[in-house]
Amino acid sequence: MEIAARRLEAELENIPLVDPHSHINPHAPAAKSLTDLLGYHYYTELAHAAGMPRADLDLHGWPLVEKLGRWLPALANTVQYGWLVQLAQTFFGYDKETIGPADVAGLFDAVAQRTATPNWPDEVFRKTNLEAIFLTNDFDDPLEGFDTARYVPCLRTDDLVFKWDQPAVQARFTKATAIEATSLSLFLDGLGMLFERFVAKGARACAISLPPDFEPVRPDEVESEEGFDRLVRDRGSFDDLRMVGYRIFYALADRCEEFNLPFDLMIGVRRNVYEGGAFQGTDLFDQRTSLYQYRRLFNEKPRVKFPVSVLTHMQNQELVAYSWIFPNVLPCGHWWYSNIPTYIDADLRARLEAVPAGKQIGYYSDAYKLEFVLPKFAMYRRSLANVLLRDFVLARGWSEERALELGKAVLRDNVLDVFGRPGPRGSHS
Amino acid sequence: MEIAARRLEAELENIPLVDPHSHINPHAPAAKSLTDLLGYHYYTELAHAAGMPRADLDLHGWPLVEKLGRWLPALANTVQYGWLVQLAQTFFGYDKETIGPADVAGLFDAVAQRTATPNWPDEVFRKTNLEAIFLTNDFDDPLEGFDTARYVPCLRTDDLVFKWDQPAVQARFTKATAIEATSLSLFLDGLGMLFERFVAKGARACAISLPPDFEPVRPDEVESEEGFDRLVRDRGSFDDLRMVGYRIFYALADRCEEFNLPFDLMIGVRRNVYEGGAFQGTDLFDQRTSLYQYRRLFNEKPRVKFPVSVLTHMQNQELVAYSWIFPNVLPCGHWWYSNIPTYIDADLRARLEAVPAGKQIGYYSDAYKLEFVLPKFAMYRRSLANVLLRDFVLARGWSEERALELGKAVLRDNVLDVFGRPGPRGSHS
Amino acid sequence: MEIAARRLEAELENIPLVDPHSHINPHAPAAKSLTDLLGYHYYTELAHAAGMPRADLDLHGWPLVEKLGRWLPALANTVQYGWLVQLAQTFFGYDKETIGPADVAGLFDAVAQRTATPNWPDEVFRKTNLEAIFLTNDFDDPLEGFDTARYVPCLRTDDLVFKWDQPAVQARFTKATAIEATSLSLFLDGLGMLFERFVAKGARACAISLPPDFEPVRPDEVESEEGFDRLVRDRGSFDDLRMVGYRIFYALADRCEEFNLPFDLMIGVRRNVYEGGAFQGTDLFDQRTSLYQYRRLFNEKPRVKFPVSVLTHMQNQELVAYSWIFPNVLPCGHWWYSNIPTYIDADLRARLEAVPAGKQIGYYSDAYKLEFVLPKFAMYRRSLANVLLRDFVLARGWSEERALELGKAVLRDNVLDVFGRPGPRGSHS
């Protein structure tokens, strides 16, 4: 059984990847030093959780790496540490099974040397068998200076929905659209311009992350306008911000429908729970949340595809059930705190057993640097191979070929079908 | 290990089934055409979720089957599709591993031909190793014209608790009881008559499905009477409906105690979440619910057995714990969105590890047509065999014989012990 | 694979145990009769849940054992029954695989005989490979007359936080501290004395169990004083009790910081849900709870270690995530309703995959009599060995030696590191 599972895994490795969600900076997509890799929030937050003083995390370059190196043995059991070892071995000629305090200096040099080679990102793409990767672009990102068929723009909208009361956000909006959004109507005009720009640049999705208590209702139009006015004039009340946020959220859904863009919902994150945490290591969740909160949206927008990520394993059954009932709800990836084999195994299995295969976006890397795409997808492929073997080949008598086709659908084909093939919009199948 | 598990599974297949919950129509228990099988809500809702237009689901007969056939490949990964293939092979001489657009015409003819044979339901009973099956009867069902030892009546009470404000429901009640329930007291009299009729006809349970926010408290009697009056006179308020619903719910529990009927609680369903969904494919859930909401009921009615079904895997641990503490709470089956191997495996294992064996109602088919009893129970038996082998034979050193006895208890014996042997009440052990 | 897992398990058995949470009475740590063993609430509550009349549970000695014996076959599938068989075999020369009505008389005699031998507790310690075990001491426990290096005091504080309105609790406080706590300020003085006494006696933790809706906020000081006055004078209102409870809870955290004591939080229990239940068999839970409720505490007290136990499997992912982010949150054991292999397997695996190893307190027995430490830890070690083999040795290519080191950390080393080595405080590493 182990042999057959690894055979399936090897076959899955031959399938070129299109990674439908990441935080890659297309102007600096790969690491330039070990700092870029060890500085990933997983390592800083885990090291801090293990005891590394918060102040040490404000170091940079070699001093940061040297400190973090001392804490690596404390994380050696985690799968995130496993990603680091695997990428060191694959990309930087590292040949040990562990990385400890005595190893980081050598690895630091190796990373500096290798990443300095011309076309290093291309080499990472090649070794990763990666064709294209989706980005997370702020609404005011000019989207200039990179190949959008390889680095696929994606409009991230958290700031518009949750921070519209902030003058800085309003100013960015004005700068990006040349529209001073002093009214809801003007805001909506500007939003249309942003969608046009993103779509023209090959954007393939709109995306947002949402807190556990978000329960969107399309607000009354007159009330929305009045609340919007108060927010812009004097930052309004908490209720104004929530109502205007819901109104903007629905405006995004309207535009997604108009421009035929999937709207990625990333559900469940509670921001800034640990105020003294590492950079990007302060967010957690509250398990008390339900997809039932989105019933109005799903009913109102049947023509918008909603690839949904849930932050918790507990919510995966809701995701399975809502995807099996709603044509426009699609299970998407294994996000953040659910991105460990324990939860991937169970969540993936339930999806494969009860959601039509063609709707499932299997996995995305969520990576900040390209080097992490490989070990993260490797972790996913291992779970996928195990589930395909055990629950389809063995339990249901499928041939390995048929199981592999299913794996290919969730790993690659559906990404292209749901979001469209990366590149200029005309090539959207 | 695989071999031993399949050996246990084969032994479990020899145990005759009494299926303690279904939606079988005793006047048309088996399919008469492939439409009856492919029309099962699992296929219509999954096909719709995969992209089949809602309007096509309003077709009938061959045109519906032909359309659904085109969408079957999109569902081929689901366990529900697996049920269809297995029943086609078992009952209709089908010999392929998949059913696609090119296969439905032949299968349509085969089903029409076989199901037209005299005594087709008997043949399904025989091949399924099925002795008796429980029904879901409306309170105004006359319960005439079928063998109640084979098709066991069960009083379904959702309409009384949740729709008593509807004149149509009141009219049905009047017709069924010859009592115009213009007061709570008259209603209770009529309810007593219904219980007497059902019990006389061999009913073995009272049943109801409940929403996630149901938290029954026995209301004050005077307030109940006044609310009941308002509901009957002018449909009352939402609060009246809820209070009267709670009062009727407690009245049902009172009658269950009086008539020694188990009261099946099916907890967690939220009706009509997807308004545009397929027939019977519009209901979902909200995971935020707790058995703690039923503490007053469980405390007040120690002599009533409550076989409890929970809609979600997340609530299974509550079901295990409440069954391990309350003598009158019994875990029952794997319901609907939890009826897939991922969740059956884990939920079953927890129950077998921590709930006294004799309290566990292992499984029911929930079927609308007899042909589905076989593949659904086959799915359950596979999980059961795997858990018995891995967690009892291997992990705890049990003999296969002892494990099989445990399997027989949850699969069959407990159904007879808890609900009583089907047939006239005198035969109730 | 089975062979390798059992080899790891055998290695884990060689690691001496320090059990960081129990309810052992140091003046009567081991059983004196089978009544002490069969009287454990797991057997009384499960027997009652299986049908044993509540009144029979009020029997004592042989009559109780004789009655319970009749119900044992009804529990024979549970893991708790498995503990009983294993301890009977290990400690009392029992050689059958089951214990039934015909067996209890012989076992009753055997237990009486063996436990009467001099130094019986020492023999249990030896056979269990147990070095020390933590207690659960009421705040007014004199902590006299036992070896605190073997029986480690631990200050249990539920009464102070949840029952301060009760004159009996106030009287016990006065007796224990010689301070009549007529004001919050006097109470805090007395609390300091209690901490001093406990720490002087080698206490290694403060502990409390908490209901699902506990959401502590440090109350305003003046309001706390006024509420405290009302509670002491006339028992106050429900709101007073809650506010004062929160204030006392924060006072405990303050003292834990001052005295460098870990503060064990045992989260999720709802007391007295089944009013007619067996002694200690009346408590259950409500799954609707979140660690988010403790965000203020975790932020305010970075220097206090909070070993957190969660009552439900559903909350384990929160525990994993909060432990991976907050330096002061530590996952601790597998508590009560989650203490069965189904949940240990999954919860342990998630922790080992995503929480720094050194923070994890693997297991505690929660035992009332020493004889239960062995079978409970045996159950845990089996899960641990399986996870180490499957998810580290096989899935990640670790050597068995490395996996065993990880097992040793969570099983033993971390207990000493987090709580300190038992014995007089000077020996605290």
The answer to whether B341 touches A353, Cβ cutoff 8 Å, is yes
What pLDDT does residue B427 have?
A: 44
Determine the residue of chain C that is closest to A346 in CA distance. C346
- Rounded to the nearest angstrom, the gap between the alpha carbon of residue C181 and the centroid of all alpha carbons in its chain is 29
Which residues lie closer than 8 Å to C427 by C-beta, 6 or more apart? C420, C421
β partners of residue A130: A17
What pLDDT does residue A425 have?
A: 66
Cβ–Cβ pairs < 8 A, chains B and C: 102
- Quote the tokens at residue A337: 């705190």
Quote the CA–CA distance of A414 and B161 in Å, as a whole number: 44
| pLDDT tens per residue, range C52-93 | 999 999 999 999 999 999 999 999 999 999 999 999 999 999
Most C CBs within 10 Å: which of A2, A68, A287, as the mutation test of the C interface?
A287
User: Is this complex scored with an ipTM above 0.95?
Assistant: yes
Quote the CA–CA distance of B184 and B366 in Å, as a whole number: 33
Most C CBs within 10 Å: which of B396, B398, B405, as the mutation test of the C interface?
B396
| pLDDT tens per residue, range A297-339 | 999 999 999 999 999 999 999 999 999 999 999 999 999 999 9
Most B CBs within 10 Å: which of A306, A325, A390, as the mutation test of the B interface?
A325
On the 0-12 / 13-18 / 19+ scale of CB atoms within 10 A, A257 is: middle
- Quote the tokens at residue B358: 């004799």
Determine the residue of chain B that is closest to C274 in CA distance. B299
Distances A314 to A126, A344, C312, C326, C335 between C-alpha atoms, Å? 36, 12, 12, 21, 19
Neighboring chain C residues of A274 at a CB cutoff of 8 Å = 295, 298-299, 325-326
User: In this predicted structure, which of A34-48, A222-236, A256-270, C129-143 has the lowest mean pLDDT?
Assistant: A222-236
User: Residue B354: which of C377, C97, C71, C43 has the closest Cα?
Assistant: C43
| Cross-chain Cβ contact A327/B284 below 8 Å | no
Neighboring chain B residues of C274 at a CB cutoff of 8 Å = 295, 298-299, 325-326
Q: How far is C176 from chain B (nearest CA, A)?
A: 36
Which residues lie closer than 8 Å to A226 by C-beta, 6 or more apart? none
Cβ–Cβ pairs < 8 A, chains A and C: 103
| Cross-chain Cβ contact B2/A394 below 8 Å | yes
User: Residue B354: which of B411, B305, B316 has the closest Cα?
Assistant: B316
Q: How far apart are the first and last CA of chain A?
A: 39
User: Residue B207: which of B156, B136, B152 has the closest Cα?
Assistant: B156
Q: Out of A273, A337, A341, whose CB is closest to C292?
A: A273
pLDDT-derived band at C424 (thresholds 50, 70, 90) equals confident
Which residues lie closer than 8 Å to C1 by C-beta, 6 or more apart? C389, C390, C394
Per DSSP, helices labelled H in C93-220 are 104-115, 120-128, 158-162, 167-177, 184-200
| Cross-chain Cβ contact A356/B285 below 8 Å | no
| Cross-chain Cβ contact C49/B355 below 8 Å | yes
| Cross-chain Cβ contact C292/A270 below 8 Å | yes
pLDDT value at C376 more than 60: yes
The answer to whether A221 touches A228, Cβ cutoff 8 Å, is no
| pLDDT tens per residue, range A375-409 | 999 999 999 999 999 999 999 999 999 999 999 99
Distances C134 to B140, C17, C100, C376, C424 between C-alpha atoms, Å? 62, 11, 33, 15, 14
Q: Out of B74, B79, B337, whose CB is closest to A321?
A: B337
Neighboring chain A residues of B51 at a CB cutoff of 8 Å = 327, 358
pLDDT value at C236 more than 90: no
- Quote the tokens at residue C207: 């502990």
Domains of chain B: 33-115 (1.10.2020.10), 131-427 (3.20.20.140)
Q: How far is B358 from chain A (nearest CA, A)?
A: 29
**Helices (runs of H) and strands (runs of E) counted in chain A:** 19, 10
Most C CBs within 10 Å: which of A96, A280, A284, as the mutation test of the C interface?
A284
Determine the residue of chain A that is closest to B311 in CA distance. A317
Q: How far is C401 from chain A (nearest CA, A)?
A: 13
The answer to whether C159 touches C139, Cβ cutoff 8 Å, is yes
| pLDDT tens per residue, range C166-212 | 999 999 999 999 999 999 999 999 999 999 999 999 999 999 999 99
- When the pLDDT of each residue in chain C is averaged and rounded to a whole number, the result is 97
User: Residue B110: which of B87, B131, B129 has the closest Cα?
Assistant: B87
| pLDDT tens per residue, range A216-261 | 999 999 999 999 999 999 888 999 999 999 999 999 999 999 999 9
| Cross-chain Cβ contact B277/A397 below 8 Å | no
What pLDDT does residue C299 have?
A: 98
Distances B420 to B203, B205, B427 between C-alpha atoms, Å? 10, 10, 8
- Quote the tokens at residue C346: 């999954």
Quote the CA–CA distance of C397 and C120 in Å, as a whole number: 44
Distances B364 to B23, B82, B332, B381, C372 between C-alpha atoms, Å? 11, 18, 8, 12, 38
| Cross-chain Cβ contact A354/B79 below 8 Å | yes
Among left, alpha and beta (phi > 0; psi -120 to 50; other), residue B397 is left
- Quote the tokens at residue B255: 């009658």
The answer to whether A292 touches A215, Cβ cutoff 8 Å, is no
% pLDDT > 90, chain B = 97
Residue B159: count other Cβ atoms within 10 Å of its Cβ: 17
Determine the residue of chain C that is closest to B356 in CA distance. C75
Provide the 3-class DSSP secondary structure of residue A241.
helix
E-strand ranges in C343-428 read: none
Beta sheet of B329-331, edge-to-edge order: B155-156, B206-210, B263-267, B306-310, B329-331
pLDDT value at A428 more than 50: no
| Cross-chain Cβ contact A357/B76 below 8 Å | yes
Residue whose pair of structure tokens reads 């109602």 in the numeric block: B361
- Quote the tokens at residue A119: 């076309």
pLDDT-derived band at A424 (thresholds 50, 70, 90) equals confident
What are the DSSP calls for A313-337, one per residue? GGGHHHHHHHHHH-TTEEEB---GG
Is the pLDDT higher at B138 or at C235?
B138
Q: Which residues of chain B have pLDDT under 70?
A: 425-429
- When the pLDDT of each residue in chain A is averaged and rounded to a whole number, the result is 97
Neighboring chain C residues of B330 at a CB cutoff of 8 Å = none
Element (H, E) at C196: helix C184-200
What pLDDT does residue A61 have?
A: 96
| ∠ CA B103-B108-B109, rounded to 5° | 110
The single-letter DSSP state of residue B311 is: S
